[in-house]
Amino acid sequence: MSKLLLLHSPNFTPVVYRRTITSILSKPNFHLSSSLFPPPSTTATVTATVNHIQSHISSSPPLHSFPSPILRCRNLSARAFDSSSDTKTEEIKEEAEKKQSGSEDGSVKRVQEDYPTGEFEFKEFGAWKRFLVKLRMLIAFPWERVRKGSVLTMKLRGQISDQLKSRFSSGLSLPQICENFIKAAYDPRISGIYLHIEPLNCGWGKVEEIRRYILNFKKSGKFIVCYIPACREKEYYLACACHEIYVPPSAYFSLYGLTVQASFLRGVLDKVGVEPEVQRIGKYKSAGDQLLRKTMSEENCEMLTALLDNIYGNWLDCISSTKGSFWYWSFAQSYSSKYCYWSLKIYVGKKREDIENFINEGVYKVERLKEEGLITNIHYDDEVISMLKEKLSVQKDKILPMVDYGKYSRVRNWTLGITGGQDQIAVVRASGSISRVRSPLSLPSSGIVGEQFIEKIRQVRESKRYKAVIVRIDSPGGDALASDLMWREIRLLAEKKPVIASMSDVAASGGYYMAMAAGTIVAENLTLTGSIGVVTGKFNLAKLYEKIGFNKEIISRGKYAELLAAEQRPLRPDEADLFARSAQHAYKQFRDKAAFSRSMPVEKMEEVAQGRVWTGKDAASRGLVDAIGGLSRAIAIAKQKANIPQDREVTVVELSRPSPTLPEVLSGIGSSIAGVDRTLKELLQDLTFADGVQARMDGIMFQRLEESSYANPILSLIKDYLSSL
């Protein structure tokens, strides 16, 4: 699936209400100005004119301006969970049912709790703090020096990692992008941000997080201007959060809608003589479908259709509520024998039907986008820079002072006076596919290695420095055993200190296995999560071996010794039965532990399990997720759980290493040259599921949804081979 958008915005009604008009002055969407002097009673004056304003809106001319959309975090409820742990399946089932059985009829009683939103509040520094910041800037390192009045430029394109990056690493890092927005908001040397947005290759959870920080930056009163030469739904979602949007005359704009795709290789495998023997537990568990089937199953079609409808509907709602026109109205008021002339600008969003009709027209001309108010104007990059010069009173023959993303990332928070307090909250990041041990050829930053993650969790558990822990997850799953071992360690950690799971783009299957061990789960609105199911299998290569003249014979001892070793023949009936029972047992363990962790009856968990993937919003309504939000909300909840006042600053400590370092890159290159045979062996093992049961979301589906590289590497090889024919 491609082109799926993560949205997190309530509808903004164009009707002006009395109870909300009184807060107009504090919102950037509404501008109330006087040509003579401040009004004596703003609230009373504005309220008294509401009815008259509404009667004039329909006949007032639009003004081309782009307001800051009003987005409010939803106050969602969550349950409190027992942090005790037990790995025995039957005891888990009994205890989960006891927790939830509030009456004889088995009705479920849940403890409700209101969580803080973690919404960013920009606070002006006092005189003494401003003096300290200036002093620190004077003694800052040379690479932290920035000219006063500079514009921060950031180019958002390609892959965006959820991990921290070292200076030797290429690409963008989500933590550093978000940190740059906060630093720029408080940095007196930064006048505003000039954002270049090009096609992104990341998930929608990260896009939502970046958008949230764009809105946070706007609270500082500084400008943020966007330039987009190539734009689809994802890029436009970010752009519409900025003050102004500019595109070149030849821009590639493709707002045509969203699609979902699924590819199938069974026909190809049949032609080459490969027969997949796969056990997948859960009717929605689509992992393995691309190998077993030639067409989409009804269950998979149902799930993907629901995801697409959910995402497309949210996209239309968000765009319709954040893009539209300004309506202008003015009036005069008598004050001290003079007239004070007021002007009131009221933002009126477009209707959802209007946006949908516009999408269905297949508009490709940027002139139409300007006419509809979807962009500010049509300008080249140099013209936008000239406009910024004029805005900042820079002479035309002078160079606009700018600082790029890479250099500004090296500016320390300490220099700008935005360091935290004494209380520390640890953040442990887990990104990529899950494996139990590290491959000899893999880089330290490639995926989640169970044994290394467990070691880090144990260190945090034993440390007295951290008041709470946030486990940041961005994973489609992987090895089921590794997932279970990490689940156990997170449960033990949760017994000693609050643990909050924060989901990024995806935390499905094995990724959800990790998250459900935390006391509270926070997800983005359209994070892909759930997928509680397992898959395992092997390939029967008998026909392929016959075609190429290859033969293999095995001598074994033990009835089931050849269960996974004999790929030259199909499974015997007794072997197939053992294979199926083993997969079913792994699924029951996963499901029952999910029910125990979420304080939910097993029967109720079965209804939302079955390998089905949910969006964060749907998962929250079904008890799989507690709250909707990003890392900032997870920090606020961690403070609440650790009995830290919300207005007290905390220090967030990142425990994940930046990756990769230059020596690690060079080491990886050397290992790759020397170990081709081992690489081929690992690919074959991955192809034949030799590592055991997998708690993994469908690789093909994940690649289509998030445009990432978590898919099975052998499928990429097959794709490259077919494209070369």
Q: What is the pTM of this model?
A: 0.77
Is the predicted pLDDT of residue 415 greater than 60, yes or no?
yes
Q: Residue 468 pairs with which residues in a beta bridge?
A: 425
State the residue for tokens 């009994």.
Answer: 94
CA 186/CA 152 separation, integer angstroms: 13
Is the predicted pLDDT of residue 9 greater than 90, yes or no?
no
CA 393/CA 252 separation, integer angstroms: 32
Three-class SS of 15-83: CCCHHHHCCHHHCCCCEEEECCCCCCCHHHHHHHCHHHHHHHHCCCCEECCCCCCCCCCCCCEEECCCC
Structure tokens belonging to residue 374? 């979807």
CB neighbourhood size of 385 (10 A):
20
Q: What is the pLDDT of residue 700?
A: 34
State the residue for tokens 């349950």.
Answer: 79
Q: Which residue has the higher pLDDT, 641 or 707?
A: 641
Section 194-210 average pLDDT: 92
| 509 tagged catalytic | yes
Instruction: Please tell me which residue in 83, 169, 509, 531 is annotated as part of the active site.
Output: 509
Architecture of the CATH domain 137-256+322-331+338-414: Alpha-Beta Complex (3.90)
pLDDT band at 320 (very low <50, low <70, confident <90, very high): confident
Q: Specify the 3-state DSSP secondary structure of 538.
A: strand
Structure tokens belonging to residue 57? 């809106």
| Boundaries of every domain in the chain | 137-256+322-331+338-414
Section 303-307 average pLDDT: 92
Per-residue pLDDT reduced to its tens digit, 15-58: 333 333 333 333 333 333 333 333 333 433 333 343 444 444 33
113: which residues sit within 8 A by CB, 6+ positions away? 77, 78, 79, 80
Per-residue pLDDT reduced to its tens digit, 653-679: 999 766 555 554 554 444 444 444 444
- Sort strands 324-335 and 338-349 into parallel, antiparallel or unpaired: antiparallel
CA 638/CA 499 separation, integer angstroms: 7
Per-residue pLDDT reduced to its tens digit, 114-160: 899 999 999 999 999 999 999 999 888 888 999 999 999 999 999 99
Using alpha carbons, list the distances in angstroms from residue 438 to 244, 435, 443, 716.
Answer: 47, 7, 9, 21
